[in-house]
Amino acid sequence: MHDFLEQHWQFILIEGLLFVLLGTTAIIIPQIFTVAIALFLGWLILFGGMIQMMRTLFFSSIPGFWLWLSIGLLQVILGLLLITNPLKGALTLTLLLLILFAVEGISKISLALLIKPLANWSWMLFSGVTALIFVVIILIGWSEVSHWVLGLFLGVNMVFLGWTLVKIGLHFKPL
């Protein structure tokens, strides 16, 4: 791990700075970021469903034709629901974010313990603990926070990850 970090410190530093920039933007305008997340995901799901339906119709002899077609149709409907009502979609996405932060928190804590002898490992630990604190906050204010929490928490999480990567990248910069 040490050798890898020394060889690629520039990429780690640049990635960290990008995460700090994106995260700061999301913190400043969390409502817009939340709507943007829901809309972006809606469009991705919509286009994915359309492509799947076209493929299924093009290859009409495919085994499980109706299953493939129904999955594509479900994706189109879900995408349209997210696009037409991103704030309601944000509630569902907040649940998914809660799951993401729970898994990410546990993973970052595990990774921090794995790299513990290396410098700045505690920042990764701090980032993991922060993600688990977000889980608790989301659970406490569930329906009231869904209109802004995606943007804000994602932004804060990105800033913490960004600073962690910046600190690690700078530490392994050759003298």
pTM of this structure: 0.64
Helices 65-84, 86-114: axis angle to 10 degrees equals: 100
Distance CA 109, CA 121 (A): 10
Q: Residue 142 pLDDT > 80, yes or no?
A: no
For a pLDDT cut of 90, what percent of the chain falls above it?
A: 60
Q: Which among 12, 35, 40 is positioned nearest to 172, based on CA atoms?
A: 12
Q: Does residue 129 or residue 124 have the better pLDDT? A: 129
Asked if 45 and 83 touch (Cβ cutoff 8 Å), the reply is: no
Asked if 67 and 27 touch (Cβ cutoff 8 Å), the reply is: no
What pLDDT shows up at residue 170?
Answer: 94
Distance CA 122, CA 13 (A): 17
Distance CA 56, CA 65 (A): 7
pLDDT tens-digit series, residues 9-48: 999 999 999 999 999 999 999 988 889 889 999 999 999 9
Distance CA 129, CA 156 (A): 13
